[in-house]
Structure 1
């Protein structure tokens, strides 16, 4: 029924590439993916620098959505050992997969590694378990007085909760108590977003940390201490995502999977065009009939489309329509805010801080809670996958900064940013500047759609876009929704499902990661 039809997909991130492959696998609709940059995977790309790989923002491949887990592991089977060699049964979703990945086979690179999750908070120049563990070590670092205040304020919050959860501050205090909120949430969250927590919508908390609270953290502590769950249990479907202990990870970073998907799209007859920026959508009645793309060489092409999937920022999409949007709609779109992101990769001989036995830190992520530095998180890429670093005797880390394109930090040149970042982590005792061997700076604009500005009127935009029957907004920026990778994929899958069923309604797309059980961490 769909022979000869074209789906024009704006953006080669997880949502766009998922839609393209789903169309090719399940229909005769031909996808054309237009990506403005030269990178595959959106923020789920892998940046390579002198043989070292960077994961922008960190991407744990974990989902409570079975369809997504199956999709990932069908494309990249689970490796049985850390080096991707051998044969072994891996427990996943209450069944076993036997993965054959002989070391001499070139295809053994296309595998998911089973990785231990370890994240900690760096605060008061010390490491705290994330989430906080109830042990003598935590008590000693925080002190008895602060621990009593944390307990008392939590009990007070449970007895007398804030009845109206309008802001993120309301949301967090109701779940953790005021003292724990002030100690571990307020400064970090405001570092991420650049505005006070009482100016951020509570919807952000519902989106990202819905199931996590002090109570769930305590329950998890006791369960993990006394249960006998299999060490290879990847499903963890009853575990809050902030508490998962293992996850899957492509051998060479998240971009490896999406580059593989892009190659499959091309092999199956679709197109993925890099350096193709869409700046105009032509509308006739209630349909988008074509899009106009500007290529890297300056040439322009108009491409007719039966269906259009957009993952571009909503603000940009409104401006790209060839019809004038109502003034109120433009006002909402122009008022949407995006937080930008800088990652500074540092190759170092060693870190100053170590594990108790003197070995290199085992963390994938470290949340830097220290208020006297701007750096928000620190990744140790070696721990995501040993293949992320060219020389395993070195430590390859990523320092993550949340900012706006208008900030002084963003405007600095790369050398100045690297020097600033090195100074910050030396200041808080993570490393010594003399141990830094090399640095690489990556800027990513519009990484995080913000839940302030005109976000409280976002429903007006949803209603406006829903009038275009063949236009589907999917993915994180496409929906201005802080989706994780799996839910961005699910929005694309659901849109394809509906199209193939002859259903052009959009309501189901907007419910994804709003009414489901799974919500990711902060």
Structure 2
């Protein structure tokens, strides 16, 4: 029996393991995971009964294979969840589906609400053209945005940077209000220094004209084809957070005979010529060698190449220069938020209904905040009397913020909650918990523009397959990451040597069309950030 070595127990790695075990009897599957948790950046952290979603994950995909896969692991609810019962809300239910009040292995249907918090006011995300938007901006700003957009349409920029990309679609004024600072905060680089391909991938089809079309569709009820408005306004979500999906998947892999080794950091990829003969991993201070016939890697491609022997200078240089942005979050437990719910959406405690909110405020470092109560009522231990909030910050591993102690980080973040008037005083905070996530966001600058050369070299290694967000250094959603593994397993079983189908996931026309319609979202999404 051949041996498949899979690096990483995140969405891509676990999907590859499960697919290979269910589609072929020819492989012994071994998965190596550096940490003690499944799911990678899609994990869920349980702190004293309150669960934290690392980055926020909405499960929605146009790819039937992905939806069927999720349904198999976590069947869609057939009975209302706790908050829908209390509020007498009616969500779409699946006949014969599990009852979330009695079972854990269930996927919920949730309302999708994301907004921008700018100048202490809420704006729709993406920006919509309606009376409230113009009222929030004021007459002079609205006129300035209009003329700025017209100017951008007449004098198109050559798109050499992400700044050019945004200005061409929104005008300089809206760009400076809603994109410039947030993007710089997210990436640690000004948009003028970032490759425009990031925008092309994450903001496909979005412009003022698209906003107008969407506004027209909502007014007339026309959705522009088969995509229903309800599909855009709702999403699926695991009862106990996204990590639950990968916990369940890991258990299924073990039942199928797969092996998962935890706390096993792969440090060497042992190569003879253009063929990998095995890997070496660290566990309990010992380096252990294991041979294999196929290697599927979802580890950061930068680390993958660094761990290989006999890599030519040029691909080694490109891989070493690939940048990442890291992430820190603080879970904060409070009795209430000062934010007033002016929407028509009912919530327990009448809190604002947002899943997450994009903070566009140059006076703070906070990038977003999540309200876990609205993701799933089962993420919060005392839903009736507390609000469990996740304050999100972007940083570089090893910088001043990353090196803060939990108490130092908490003081900064809670002070910013007061600055934004989310709470009135730091004394209102009942508890907090900090989490760090390395290499959360593969970045599109520095040597990224030479990524094609690196891919060309990696494709010369005959038994190596790179999958997932970090494995391909591409800002993929969960469904796209899973599709890279689907394609990989198909190639392994069929003997196909051309790996272009794997690298083309989320670049081909079918994926672009999905994102343009706003219905392919399933990752720790930063959407148009």
TM value normalised by structure 1: 0.92
Structure 2 residue 422 is the aligned partner of structure 1 residue 430: yes
Divergent runs of 4+, >4 A = 102-105
Tell me the secondary structure at the aligned position of residue 98 of structure 1: coil
Deviation at residue 215 of structure 1 after TM alignment: 1.5
Q: How many Å separate the matches in 2 of 1:206 and 1:146?
A: 27
**1:194 corresponds to:** 188
Gaps in structure 1 of 5+ consecutive residues:
230-235
Tell me the secondary structure at the aligned position of residue 493 of structure 1: helix
Q: How many Å separate the matches in 2 of 1:478 and 1:237?
A: 33
Q: CA RMSD in A?
A: 2.1
Tell me the secondary structure at the aligned position of residue 248 of structure 1: strand
Q: How many Å separate the matches in 2 of 1:104 and 1:123?
A: 37
Deviates more, 1:470-479 or 1:276-285: 276-285
**1:290 corresponds to:** 278
**2:492 corresponds to:** 499
Q: How many Å separate the matches in 2 of 1:312 and 1:273?
A: 15
**1:252 corresponds to:** 240
TM value normalised by structure 2: 0.91
Tell me the secondary structure at the aligned position of residue 455 of structure 2: helix
Q: How many Å separate the matches in 2 of 1:126 and 1:143?
A: 12
Deviates more, 1:373-382 or 1:220-229: 220-229
Deviation at residue 158 of structure 1 after TM alignment: 2.3
Q: How many Å separate the matches in 1 of 2:408 and 2:298?
A: 32
Q: How many Å separate the matches in 2 of 1:430 and 1:492?
A: 41
Q: How many Å separate the matches in 2 of 1:479 and 1:458?
A: 9
Gaps in structure 2 of 5+ consecutive residues:
344-348, 516-520, 522-526
User: Match for 2:371 among 376, 380, 394?
Assistant: 380
Written as runs of structure 1 = structure 2, the 5 A alignment for 1:215-364 is: 215-227=209-221, 238=227, 244-295=232-283, 297-323=284-310, 325-356=311-342, 359-364=350-355
**1:419 corresponds to:** 411
Deviation at residue 133 of structure 1 after TM alignment: 2.6
**1:100 corresponds to:** 97
**1:21 corresponds to:** 18
**2:400 corresponds to:** 408
Q: How many Å separate the matches in 2 of 1:198 and 1:58?
A: 27
Could you tell me whether the CA contact under 8 Å between 1:64 and 1:237 is conserved in 2?
A: no
Deviation at residue 6 of structure 1 after TM alignment: 1.4
Deviation at residue 189 of structure 1 after TM alignment: 0.7
**2:6 corresponds to:** 9
**1:43 corresponds to:** 41
Deviation at residue 262 of structure 1 after TM alignment: 0.2
Could you tell me whether the CA contact under 8 Å between 2:306 and 2:320 is conserved in 1?
A: no
Q: How many Å separate the matches in 2 of 1:321 and 1:471?
A: 12
**2:108 corresponds to:** 113
Could you tell me whether the CA contact under 8 Å between 2:77 and 2:99 is conserved in 1?
A: no
Deviation at residue 30 of structure 1 after TM alignment: 2.1
Could you tell me whether the CA contact under 8 Å between 2:480 and 2:506 is conserved in 1?
A: yes
Could you tell me whether the CA contact under 8 Å between 2:79 and 2:99 is conserved in 1?
A: no
Deviation at residue 103 of structure 1 after TM alignment: 6.4
Q: How many Å separate the matches in 1 of 2:327 and 2:193?
A: 20
Tell me the secondary structure at the aligned position of residue 216 of structure 2: helix
User: Match for 2:156 among 131, 145, 161?
Assistant: 161
**2:462 corresponds to:** 469
Q: How many Å separate the matches in 2 of 1:81 and 1:418?
A: 38
- Residues 341-393 of structure 1 show CA distances to partners (whole Å, capped at 9, x for unaligned) of 00110011111112138821110010000111000000000100010101102
Could you tell me whether the CA contact under 8 Å between 1:483 and 1:513 is conserved in 2?
A: yes
- Residues 141-173 of structure 1 show CA distances to partners (whole Å, capped at 9, x for unaligned) of 1111111121222222223322x3121011111
Could you tell me whether the CA contact under 8 Å between 2:76 and 2:98 is conserved in 1?
A: no
Deviation at residue 240 of structure 1 after TM alignment: 10
Q: How many Å separate the matches in 2 of 1:240 and 1:37?
A: 40
Distance of aligned partners of 1:237 and 1:66 in 2 relative to their CA distance in 1, 3 Å threshold:
farther
Tell me how many residue pairs correspond in the alignment. 501
Deviation at residue 466 of structure 1 after TM alignment: 0.6
